């Protein structure tokens, strides 16, 4: 997984039918040489802008959703505790 | 997913039979340290050159298509709303 | 796999139900041009901070766990012997 | 997919049994910040050295082949038309 | 696949049960902008230190092994012929 910060929400009206109702957040990778990488992740746990999150990518991201047939390759799987230092 | 801008279409006459009839677009990653990365993505939602899109990669990309047996690792899954700032 | 060093543990109280009880460690890639890349990996073999580990990523990471339905894309699969030089 | 240029063929006499008879080409990624990345891709459509091709990577690459049980993570899926500018 | 050079063997006594008996080699990517990237790959074809090899990554790497339930994301699939120039 990747530690990242939620920086914005992304809106897409014209999209795949299977994505309707899904919320997308823009996150920025935190720490290390990948710091500053931007990923668009689906969010099902109501992460807020500014929160630090764990993002799972690839085929494993689909395991977070109820359906296997959905074109999603990144999803927020957890919110890092505020008092967790790194 | 990746936020990217459609910059051109790509034509390939000699290709895998399973790709016949499929439309390919060259997209350029937007934002962050990956800005400027080039990906060739299949397009099934008629994205236009200049539009900003969401691109899904890896095995999840195949979920956008009707068939699972197709050698595609990137597909446009949504068009980012014009008034969406980032 | 990737050779990495465990640098910290990561705490996430609000997370996917399927991740409850799972331990997450922040690891830093060792060696080569990726040195300094940060990954958050699940740990089921009790790696300690400071130890060098082997991290498996992608869909293969799920093979380390008892369940296939879990949103995990990186897992510690082994601890590199202390007297192993590289 | 990735747009790349075929730069050489690769010969491997000692290899996995399942790869016997397969042709491997060294390709170089074209355009963007990944330009100059080298990938070894299986070729089943007779791409020639110097031709520009589309390369599919990851699990989707196996969809180009007749068999699912083959350790291949990159395959040439199309040849870009010569008069296609980018 | 990736062209790489075997630079060392890696020893891990504490590891996943499914990895017992498996041999791991540290390889360094050859050529292009990824030159110098370090990967730890399983080896089932007895590659020697100093040899140039083809490494398959991701879910396809598991196809090289007899078992699908093993947390391996990179495996040596062939040894590049000594007289193969690139």
Q: Which domains, and CATH codes, for chain C? A: 2-79 (2.40.50.220)
Q: D6-48, pLDDT tens digit by residue?
A: 999 999 999 999 999 999 999 999 999 999 999 999 999 999 9
Q: Which of A7, A12, A72 sits opposite B79 (nearest CB)?
A: A12
Q: Which helix (H) or strand (E) holds B66?
A: none
The pLDDT score that the predictor gives to residue D28 is 98
- pLDDT over 90 (residue E66): no
Average pLDDT, chain C: 95
Q: Which of A1, A30, A86 sits opposite C8 (nearest CB)?
A: A86
Report the alpha-carbon distance of residue A42 to residue E22 in Å, rounded.
37
Q: What average pLDDT does range A47-75 have in this prediction?
A: 94
Report the alpha-carbon distance of residue D80 to residue E34 in Å, rounded.
24
**Cα dist from A32 to A2, A3, A84, C29, whole Å:** 11, 10, 17, 9
The pLDDT score that the predictor gives to residue E37 is 97
Chain C, residues 7-36, CB within 8 A of chain E, namely 30-34
Whether C60 and chain A come into contact, CB under 8 Å, resolves to: no
Contacts of E16 in chain C (CB under 8 A): 45, 64, 77-78
Residue B41: closest C-alpha in chain D: D1
- pLDDT over 90 (residue A57): yes
- pLDDT over 90 (residue A66): no
Q: Which of A8, A68, A73 sits opposite B57 (nearest CB)?
A: A73
- pLDDT over 80 (residue E86): no
Largest CA distance in chain D: 40
A62 phi, psi to nearest 5 deg: -65, -20
The answer to whether B76 and D5 have CB atoms below 8 angstroms apart is no
DSSP A17: G
Largest CA distance in chain E: 40
pTM: 0.96
Q: Which helix (H) or strand (E) holds A71?
A: none
Contacts of E38 in chain C (CB under 8 A): 2-3, 30-34
The pLDDT score that the predictor gives to residue D53 is 98
Test A33 with C28 for CB contact under 8 angstroms: no
The pLDDT score that the predictor gives to residue E67 is 81
Nearest one of C47, B43, E56, C45 to A16, comparing CA atoms: B43
Average pLDDT, chain E: 95
* Residue carrying the six token digits 């040439």: D76
Q: What average pLDDT does range B60-70 have in this prediction?
A: 89
Q: Which of E11, E41, E71 sits opposite C64 (nearest CB)?
A: E71
Name the pLDDT band for A41 (thresholds 50, 70, 90).
very high
Contacts of A81 in chain C (CB under 8 A): 11-13
Higher pLDDT, D40 or A83: D40
> Where do the DSSP E strands lie in E1-86?
2-10, 14-15, 23-29, 38-43, 52-57, 74-79
Q: B39-53, pLDDT tens digit by residue?
A: 999 999 999 999 999
Closest approach of E57 to chain D, Cα-based (Å): 6
Least confident range from A64-68, B49-53, E31-35: namely: A64-68
Top residue of D24, D27, D40 to mutate, by most chain E CBs within 10 Å, is D40
Name the pLDDT band for B20 (thresholds 50, 70, 90).
very high
Composition of chain D by helix, strand, coil, percent to 5: 15, 40, 45
The pLDDT score that the predictor gives to residue D83 is 87
Q: What one-character-per-residue DSSP string does B26-81 give?
A: EEEE-SGGGTT-EEEEEESS-PPTT-EEEEEEGGGGGGGSS-SS----EEEEEE--
Q: C21-58, pLDDT tens digit by residue?
A: 999 999 999 999 999 999 999 999 999 999 999 999 99
* Residue carrying the six token digits 């795949």: A16
Closest approach of D70 to chain B, Cα-based (Å): 14
What ipTM, to 2 d.p.?
Answer: 0.95
The pLDDT score that the predictor gives to residue C66 is 75
């Amino acid at each position: 997984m990747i530690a990242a910060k939620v920086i914005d929400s992304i809106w897409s009206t014209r999209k795949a039918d299977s994505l309707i109702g899904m919320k997308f957040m823009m996150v920025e990778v935190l720490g290390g040489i990948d710091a500053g990488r931007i990923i668009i992740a689906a969010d099902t746990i109501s992460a807020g802008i500014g929160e630090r999150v764990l993002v799972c990518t690839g085929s494993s991201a689909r395991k977070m959703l109820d359906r296997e047939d959905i074109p999603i390759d990144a999803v927020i799987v957890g919110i890092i505790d505020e008092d967790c230092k790194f």
